[in-house]
């Protein structure tokens, strides 16, 4: 998978104002912690996540996606009427139908000739959307496209806490299966892709590769998709240890293919931006891929696992903090449940930043994290 004409012109993000610490979650889990005699502090210790954020109750994904989409369009300097495709790609969406992209399209004032639809693939949704838009640009079908998504973690975390406290039959092992659900955070991200002839940055998307290992598709799953939007009351169970092992194995195979396709060696990679889940898993994955952890940028400690927006939201914040420099060879590493891996290569040239395009400034943290758990 190689591209000659595609550029990444803008990453944008929006963050909720409400911060929820791991200590606060554990305080709410006091009944089950006492019953199972679990020590406080294990959630942050095991995950590396100190806090995550929640949107206000009742917030629909489209409300925030519109805000984030506007930021990306502004940063990229593209007239809304010139955008030829809009992909809404988060796990969370407003309704079963119509597509959440339809409402976002309407609110952004995009052209009637702009394709609008939803994509869903766990933690890889936005990266999959980027590939789809890139393909349309490369084929000459459109000149610019927007990929956006908003993940909301409040319902999942609160439903998990309620279930763990209520069901006194649950064991320590059952709690391990629910662990990943307690690490999920909320956030919104958007990516604007353009044809190189109209790009303002010259940040070339060189290509990439994908690798699928569906033998392990049952290692992380939620309940049936019975309702979405503000009334969703999800539960998710994850075999973290097995998913970590098999995800790293799948990622290693994908990275070998990635290097062959792009013509890079691991040492050629100047910077990385990744889907993030847990501190320990990041270390093992980077060792398996032969990559230097110091070249990565992380938001895990203060945003948690933000699902499909984790990679692009980290890219947006990383750009603000000067993580990417001219002529950097950047690897975007996406790993999600299923197991699915998608890796993209970027030749970075220019970082468009218009103040803090998130909802508020955030500080860079030292904790690093990438892995397939809870994708």
Catalytic residues: 97, 123
Sort 285 into a burial class: Cβ within 10 Å, 0-12 / 13-18 / 19+: buried
Q: How many CA atoms lie within 13 A of 217 on its CB side?
A: 7
3-state secondary structure of 114: coil
Strand duo 6-14 + 18-21: pairing: unpaired
How far is it, in rounded angstroms, from Cα 222 to Cα 220? 7
> What is the C-alpha radius of gyration for the chain, rounded to an integer number of angstroms?
19
CA atoms within 13 A on the CB side of 52: 34
Secondary structure (3-state) at 105? helix
Estimate to the nearest angstrom the gap between the alpha carbon of 277 and the chain centroid: 10
CA distance 185 to 61: 14
CA distances from 337 to 72, 233, 275 (A): 27, 20, 11
Q: How far is CA 7 from CA 27, 174, 203, 275, in A?
A: 46, 45, 5, 21
What angle, rounded to 10 degrees, do the helices at 240-262 and 279-289 form?
Answer: 40
Q: Where are the beta strands (DSSP E) in 59-141?
A: 85-88, 115-118
């Amino acid at each position: 998978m190689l591209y000659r004409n595609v550029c990444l012109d803008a990453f944008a993000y929006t963050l909720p104002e409400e911060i929820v610490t791991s200590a606060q979650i554990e305080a709410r889990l006091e009944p089950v912690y006492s019953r199972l005699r679990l020590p406080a502090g294990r959630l942050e210790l095991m995950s590396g996540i100190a806090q995550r954020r929640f949107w206000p109750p009742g917030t629909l994904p489209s409300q925030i996606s519109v805000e984030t989409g506007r930021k990306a369009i502004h940063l990229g300097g593209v007239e809304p009427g010139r955008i030829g495709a809009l992909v809404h790609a988060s796990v969370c969406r407003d309704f079963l139908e119509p597509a959440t992209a339809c409402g976002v399209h309407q609110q952004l004032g995009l052209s009637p000739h702009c394709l609008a639809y939803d994509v869903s693939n766990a933690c890889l949704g936005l990266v999959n959307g980027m590939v789809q838009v890139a393909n349309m640009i490369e084929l000459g079908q459109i000149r610019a496209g927007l990929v956006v998504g908003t993940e909301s973690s409040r319902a999942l975390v609160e439903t998990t806490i309620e279930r763990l406290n209520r069901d006194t039959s649950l064991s320590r092992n059952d709690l391990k299966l629910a662990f990943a659900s307690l690490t999920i955070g909320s956030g919104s991200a958007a990516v604007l892709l353009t044809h190189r002839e109209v790009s303002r940055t010259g940040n070339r998307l060189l290509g990439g590769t994908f690798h699928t290992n569906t033998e392990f598709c049952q290692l992380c799953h939620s309940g049936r998709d019975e309702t979405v939007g503000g009334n969703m009351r999800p539960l998710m169970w994850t075999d973290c240890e097995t998913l970590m092992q098999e995800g790293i194995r799948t990622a290693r195979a994908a990275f070998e293919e990635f290097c062959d396709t792009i013509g890079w060696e691991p040492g050629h990679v100047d910077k990385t931006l990744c889907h993030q889940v847990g501190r320990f898993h990041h270390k093992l994955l980077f060792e398996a891929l032969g990559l230097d952890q110091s070249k990565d940028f992380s938001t895990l400690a203060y945003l948690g696992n933000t699902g499909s927006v984790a990679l692009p939201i980290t890219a947006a914040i990383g750009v603000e903090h000067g993580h990417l420099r001219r002529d950097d060879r950047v690897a975007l590493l996406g790993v999600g449940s299923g197991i699915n891996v998608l890796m993209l290569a970027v030749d970075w040239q220019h970082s468009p930043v218009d103040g803090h395009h998130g909802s508020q400034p955030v500080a860079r943290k030292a904790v690093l994290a990438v892995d397939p758990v809870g994708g």
